[in-house]
Amino acid sequence: MGSGAGDLAIELVGISKSFGPVQANRDIDLAVHRGTIHGIVGENGAGKSTLMSILYGFYQADSGEIRVNGKPTRIPDSLAAIRAGIGMVHQHFMLVEPFTVLENVVLGAEDGALLRPSLAKARAELKRLEREYELDVSPDAVVGELSVGLQQRVEILKALYRECDILILDEPTGVLTPAEADHLFRILEHLKSEGKTIILITHKLREIMAVTDAVSVMRRGEMVKTLTTSETSPAEIAELMVGRRVLLRVEKAPAVPGPAMLDVEGLRLVDEQGVERLRGIGLTLRAGEILGVAGVAGNGQSELLEVLAGVRPATSGSVRLKGAPLDLSRSTNAGDRREAGIAHIPEDRHRRGLVMAFDEWENSCLGYQGEARFRGPALTLDRTAIRDHAREAIERFDIRPASCDLKTANFSGGNQQKIVIAREMERDPDVLLVGQPTRGVDIGAIEFIHRQIVALRDRGKAILLVSVELDEIRALADRIIVMFDGRISGERLAAETDERELGLLMAGIDLVEHAQTASN
Amino acid sequence: MKSALPRWVDFALIPLLNLALAFFVAGLVVLVIGENPIEAMRLLLVGSLGSSYGIGYTLYYATTFVFTGLSVAIAYHAGLFNIGAEGQAQLGGLGVALVCLALPWPAWWLALPVAILGAGLFGAAWAAIPAYLQAKRGSHVVITTIMFNFIASALIVYLLVNVLKVPGSMAPETAGFPPGTFLPTMQEMLGRVGVSVSKTPLNLSGILALVAAFLTWVLIWRTRLGYEIRAFGHSEPAAVYAGISPVKITMVAMLLSGAMAGMMGLNVVMGFQHRLVLDYVAGAGFVGIAVSLMGRSHPVGVVLAAILFGMLYQGGAELAFDMPSISRDMIVVIQALVILFTGALENLVRLPVQRLFLRRRAA
C-alpha cells in the first residue's frame, strides 16, 4: 500500500452517521487505491451497507469528508455519485424486467427526448464494452428472461455505460451459482486490469481471499483494520470481524438415525407456467439425522420445501409423516403441518417467515397464533402470554436488541433469522424443514444457528436442510442429496464425499453413468 | 431507514400541521375571491362548534363518517382498498328500511337489534360479490367495488321508483316508518337527564358509532382474527406460511367492512329521515376513504377525522349561508384541500419534521 495519496480512488475521512439512537458509522476512515479490488467485510449491522450508501449518495453523513480521486466531493444523491464516477451494483437488482438489456442500460441516461439515437449510441457502446471486458449479453434480450448471473452483468454494464471508474458491488455472489460467481470474479479481474477500482462488500471470506487486493474489516459501526489480502488469513479476518475466535466448522457427533419420519414418494410439481419443477422426488428422512439438500438455486429445492411445508400444492405423489399421509392438494396446509409436528424455517424470511411491519412479539407467535396458550378470553389473543414467551425466546436465542416491542424491520438480518429460528425450534418439532438458514446472516449468528440445528438433531429430531451454500451442507448434514433439474441426481454420506463429487452432481453429471459410458 | 418518531408527533403533531397548511391554502383561496379568511374561519368554527345546534349537526355528520371511515379502515388492514362503502351504505339503508317497514314496531329498542342485523347483512352482502371475485378470481377489489357503487345506486332507484314507492306519491322514497322505530334523539336523551340542547338530527347512533369504533379496535388489535387480518394485509406469503387462508381473510374483512358501511343507515335512515330516500348516502362513503386515510386506519384517528369532516360539513354550510360569495362549491374546495394535505401530501410535512427530530436527538 504505502504509495502516495495521488493514486487513491476513494478516501473517506472521519465519516459518522447515526439513525436516531443507533450509530451506524462511527468516525470511519477508508482509503481505496485506484486499480485494486478492495473488500469490505463485517457482520450484519456492522455498518458496511450504510457506509456504501453514503458513498453512493443514498444517505448523507452526519460528519466527515469524501474524497474522490483526491478531490473533496459532496455526494447528495446517486446522480452526483455517478457524475463522480461511482457506480453501484445492488444486492437486489434495479432493473426493469420487461425491458430489453439495451433499454435498461439507457434508462436514466438518455440523451434527449427521442429514444432512437440514444439506443443506437448505446448499442455501439455496449459492443465496445463487451469486447473490452468480455461482458457478453445480447442487447436485445428481455431482462426478465435472463438468468440472475446475466442480470448482474447488465447491472455492471449500466455502471460502465455511465463511465464509472469505481464500482461498488454489494453481496454480488449471494444469488449466483458457483460457476456464475467464478465468471463474475473473472470479469472483476478484467475490470481491474483496465484500471477500474472495485469495492466488494461480502460475507464470504473465501471470496475475499480469492479476489481482493486489500480488505477492510468493520465491526459495530467502526472500521477495525485494513489489511493487505496476501498478508492475512481467513482466520485473522474472521477474528477481527467478530472480535473473538469463531469455529468455522461445526462440531458434532456422528448421527444415530432412528425410524423414518418423513417418506416422500414420486413427488411431482408442475407450476402455473406449465414447467415441471419436481420430477418424481423420493426420499426418506429419519429421526436423529440432518439430511442436506444441495444444488444450484432453482433446481427444485425451494419447491420441495414449500410442498412439504404445506404452502404449495403438489401435482402428484405422496408424503407420509410417521406413516400417515399428508394432504398435498392445497396451498393452505401450513397450519395442519405445524399441528402434525412439522416446523418450517422458510428460505425467505423477509417475505414469508416474518411480517416486517409487526412488532417482534407479534412475530414470535406467527403461525402458532391459534395455540391454546396464546388464547385470551373470547376471541382475543393473550398479549401478556405472547410477550412473556417472546421475551423468553429473546433471552434464550440472544436476539438483539433485546426488546420485544421493537418493529421487526429494525432488527438486523441475523437477528431476524434468530426470531424465526427461535419460534420454529422452541416447540421441539418432530420434523424441521430449514431453508437457507444462514443466508445474509453474520458469522457469529451462523455459528449459533448451526449449533441449534445440531442440538435439535441430537434430541432425536429429523431435519431437512436446504441450502445453496455447499460449505454449510457439508458442515451440517449427515447425509446429502443433490438436486438437479427437479430430480435427485445423487445421494452421498457427508463423510464419504467431497466438494468435487458434489459439484459434479450439482451440475447434473451422474457419476455412475459417467463411469459406465466411459468404460463402454 | 425507518426512524421511530415519538407517537405524539406521528399521530398528533403531523396531522395538525397538515391541517394548518390546508387551512392556510384555503385561506389564500378565500382571500382571492375577496373575502376575509379570518372571518371565514371564525364563521366556520362558530357554525360548527359555537352552539349546541352546531355541535349537534357536526356530530350527526361525524357519526355517519365514523361508520364509513371504519368500513374503509377494516378492509385497509387486510390490504384491501374498499372503494365501495358508498354502495354498501346504500344497501345498508335498504336493509334498515325493510326492517322498519316490516312490522308495526312497538318500541325502538325492539327494532334496533333487528335493524342493526338488516343494515349489516345488506351491507355485507353487497361487499360479498367483489370480495369473492377478489379472493377466488383475483379481480381487483378497487375496480369491482367502484362498479358495485353504480349498480347499487341503479338498484335503489329501481326499487324506490317501482317497488317501494308509496302508491300515488310522486316522491321516489319509501313510506314513513312507524314512530315506534324512531331512534331517540340526543335532545330527548339529554332532556331526560335534565340537560337541554337544541333539536338536531344527532341521535342514539352517535353512541353506537363510538361502540363500533371500540369494537373495531378490539377486533383489529386484540383478537386473533385481527392479527390474521393484519398479517395478511402486510404480507400475503407470510400469512400463507402462518396457515392463514387468504380466501377466508379476504372474505371476512370485506364482509365486515361492508357491514360497517351499512351501519350508516342507522344514523341517517332510522335516526333522522325515518324513510329511505333517493341517494341518502350522498357521498359519505367516499368521505369515509378520506377519514380512514387521515385517521391512519386507527379507530381513534377515524373518530377524530370524522369529527373534523363533520365540522367542515356543518361549518361549511353555515359559512356558505353567511358569506354568500362563498358558495357550496367553495366549501367542497376547502374539504378537498384538507383531503389533499392530510392524505396525499402527508410526506410534505412528515419528512422535514422527521429530519428536525432526528437532528435534535443526535445533538
Residues of B with Cβ-Cβ distance to A309 under 8 angstroms: 241
DSSP per residue, A380-422: BB-HHHHHHHHHHHHHHTT-SS--TTSBGGGS-HHHHHHHHHH
User: A435 and chain B: CB distance < 8 Å anywhere?
Assistant: no
Average pLDDT over residues A263-288: 90
Q: What is the pLDDT of residue B362?
A: 62
Whether A27 and A174 map to the same domain: the answer is yes
Contact A379 B240 (CB under 8 A): no
Q: Residue B205: which of B67, B307, B57 has the closest Cα?
A: B67
Report if residue A316 sits inside a domain: yes
Contact B4 A346 (CB under 8 A): no
Report if residue B361 sits inside a domain: no
Whether A171 and A320 map to the same domain: the answer is no
Which of A242, A277, A296 is at the close of a domain? A242
ipTM: 0.85
Q: What is the pLDDT of residue A443?
A: 75
Whole-angstrom Cα distance, residue A106 to residue A126? 10
Report if residue A395 sits inside a domain: no
Residues of B with Cβ-Cβ distance to A337 under 8 angstroms: 243
DSSP per residue, A12-57: EEEEEEEETTEEEEEEEEEEEETT-EEEEEE-TTSSHHHHHHHHTT
Contact A351 B1 (CB under 8 A): no
Under the banding of pLDDT at 50, 70 and 90, the label for residue A20 is low
Span B90-128, pLDDT tens digits: 999 999 999 999 999 999 999 999 999 999 999 999 999
pLDDT at B220 over 70: yes
Span A398-418, pLDDT tens digits: 888 888 998 998 888 888 999
Whether A310 and A238 map to the same domain: the answer is no
Whole-angstrom Cα distance, residue A494 to residue A475? 8
Contact B231 A358 (CB under 8 A): yes
Burial class (CB in 10 A: 0-12, 13-18, 19+), B179: exposed
Span A363-383, pLDDT tens digits: 999 999 999 999 988 899 999
Q: What is the DSSP letter of A331?
A: S
Report if residue A276 sits inside a domain: yes
- Per the structure, how many domains does chain A have? 2
pLDDT at A297 over 80: no
Report if residue B278 sits inside a domain: yes
Closest chain A residue to the Cα of B233, Cα to Cα: A355
Q: What is the pLDDT of residue A242?
A: 66
Contact A383 B222 (CB under 8 A): yes
Report if residue B17 sits inside a domain: no
Residues of A with Cβ-Cβ distance to B76 under 8 angstroms: none
Number of CB pairs < 8 Å for A and B? 94
Instruction: Identify which has the larger pLDDT, B7 or A345.
Output: A345
Residues of A with Cβ-Cβ distance to B230 under 8 angstroms: 355, 358
CATH number at residue B271: 1.10.3470
Span B308-320, pLDDT tens digits: 999 999 998 898 8
pLDDT at A392 over 90: yes
Span A88-100, pLDDT tens digits: 998 778 899 899 9
Average pLDDT over residues A423-433: 93
Q: What is the pLDDT of residue A518?
A: 43
- Per the structure, how many domains does chain B have? 1
Instruction: Identify which has the larger pLDDT, B189 or A442.
Output: B189
Q: What is the pLDDT of residue A209?
A: 87
pLDDT at A248 over 60: no
Under the banding of pLDDT at 50, 70 and 90, the label for residue A438 is confident
Contact A355 B227 (CB under 8 A): no
HEC secondary structure over chain B: CCCCCCHHHHHHHHHHHHHHHHHHHHHHHHHHCCCCHHHHHHHHHHHHHCCHHHHHHHHHHHHHHHHHHHHHHHHHHCCCCCCCHHHHHHHHHHHHHHHHHHCCCCCHHHHHHHHHHHHHHHHHHHHHHHHHHHHHHCCCHHHHHHHHHHHHHHHHHHHHHHHCCCCCCCCCECCCCCHHHCCCEHHHHHHHCCCCCCCCCCECHHHHHHHHHHHHHHHHHHEHHHHHHHHHHHCHHHHHHCCCCHHHHHHHHHHHHHHHHHCHHHHHHHHHHCCCECCCCCCHHHHHHHHHHHCCCCHHHHHHHHHHHHHHHHHHHHHHHHCCCCCHHHHHHHHHHHHHHHHHCHHHHHHHHHHHHHHHHHC
Residues of B with Cβ-Cβ distance to A62 under 8 angstroms: 362
Range with the largest mean pLDDT of A431-435, A486-490, B316-320? A431-435
Q: Are A109 and A161 in contact (CB under 8 A)?
A: yes
Range with the largest mean pLDDT of A88-92, A128-132, A162-166, B334-338? A162-166
Q: What is the pLDDT of residue A244?
A: 56
Span B76-89, pLDDT tens digits: 999 999 999 999 99
Chain-centre distance of CA A432, in angstroms? 20
Q: What is the pLDDT of residue A504?
A: 76
Q: Are A455 and A435 in contact (CB under 8 A)?
A: no
pLDDT at A279 over 70: yes
A1, HSE (Cβ side, Cα atoms, 13 Å) = 18
Under the banding of pLDDT at 50, 70 and 90, the label for residue A9 is very high
Report if residue B317 sits inside a domain: no
**Least confident stretch, A335-349, A492-506, B39-53:** A492-506
pLDDT at A509 over 80: no
Whether A152 and A202 map to the same domain: the answer is yes
Closest chain B residue to the Cα of A20, Cα to Cα: B358
User: A253 and chain B: CB distance < 8 Å anywhere?
Assistant: no
pLDDT at A430 over 90: yes
Which of A196, A216, A242 is at the close of a domain? A242
Whole-angstrom Cα distance, residue A37 to residue A421? 36
Q: What percent of chain A has pLDDT over 70?
A: 92
CATH number at residue A220: 3.40.50.300
pLDDT at A6 over 60: no
Report if residue A269 sits inside a domain: yes
Q: What is the pLDDT of residue A408?
A: 92
- The strand pair at A8-19 and A22-33 is best described as antiparallel
Report if residue B325 sits inside a domain: no
Q: What is the pLDDT of residue B2?
A: 41
Q: What is the pLDDT of residue B332?
A: 84
Among B241, B247, B361, select the one facing A367 at the smallest CB separation: B241
Determine which helix (DSSP H) or strand (DSSP E) holds A168, and give its type and residue range: strand A166-170
A398, HSE (Cβ side, Cα atoms, 13 Å) = 8
Q: Which domain holds residue A111?
A: 5-242
Report if residue A483 sits inside a domain: yes
Residues of A with Cβ-Cβ distance to B218 under 8 angstroms: 380
Report if residue A221 sits inside a domain: yes
Under the banding of pLDDT at 50, 70 and 90, the label for residue B47 is very high
Closest chain B residue to the Cα of A410, Cα to Cα: B2
Whether A187 and A334 map to the same domain: the answer is no
Contact A369 B3 (CB under 8 A): no
Span A43-90, pLDDT tens digits: 666 788 889 989 999 888 999 999 999 899 999 998 899 999 999 998
Q: What is the pLDDT of residue B53?
A: 94
Whether A198 and A299 map to the same domain: the answer is no
User: A72 and chain B: CB distance < 8 Å anywhere?
Assistant: no
Span A105-142, pLDDT tens digits: 888 887 777 788 888 888 988 888 888 777 778 889 89
Q: Are A496 and A518 in contact (CB under 8 A)?
A: no
Report if residue B262 sits inside a domain: yes
A382, HSE (Cβ side, Cα atoms, 13 Å) = 15
Whether A169 and A285 map to the same domain: the answer is no
Which of A175, A207, A242 is at the close of a domain? A242
Residues of A with Cβ-Cβ distance to B235 under 8 angstroms: 351-352, 355-356
Instruction: Identify which has the larger pLDDT, B201 or A295.
Output: B201
Contact A362 B227 (CB under 8 A): yes
Whole-angstrom Cα distance, residue B240 to residue B228? 10
Report if residue A374 sits inside a domain: no
Q: Residue A163: which of A84, A225, A65 has the closest Cα?
A: A84
Sign of the dihedral through C-alpha B337, B343, B345, B350: positive
User: A385 and chain B: CB distance < 8 Å anywhere?
Assistant: no
Cα distances (Å, whole numbers) of residue A6 to A69, A216, B64, B256:
7, 20, 71, 68
Whether A60 and A98 map to the same domain: the answer is yes
Residues of B with Cβ-Cβ distance to A352 under 8 angstroms: 235, 237-238, 240-241
SS3 A195: coil
Average pLDDT over residues B17-27: 88
Report if residue B344 sits inside a domain: no
Report if residue B27 sits inside a domain: no
Under the banding of pLDDT at 50, 70 and 90, the label for residue A255 is confident
Q: Which domain holds residue B213?
A: 62-309
Whether A297 and A328 map to the same domain: the answer is yes
SS3 A166: strand
pLDDT at B214 over 70: yes
Whole-angstrom Cα distance, residue A308 to residue A299? 16
Q: What is the pLDDT of residue A13?
A: 93
Residue B274: left if φ>0, alpha if ψ -120 to 50, beta else—which one?
A: left
State the average pLDDT for chain B. Answer: 91
pLDDT at A388 over 70: yes
Q: What is the pLDDT of residue B243?
A: 94
**Nearest-CA distance B293 → chain A (Å):** 18
DSSP per residue, A466-480: E-S-HHHHHHH-SEE
Whole-angstrom Cα distance, residue B93 to residue B67? 13
Q: Residue B115: which of B287, B123, B163, B129 has the closest Cα?
A: B123
Under the banding of pLDDT at 50, 70 and 90, the label for residue A4 is very low
Whether A276 and A230 map to the same domain: the answer is no
Report if residue A362 sits inside a domain: no
Determine which helix (DSSP H) or strand (DSSP E) holds A218, and give its type and residue range: strand A214-219
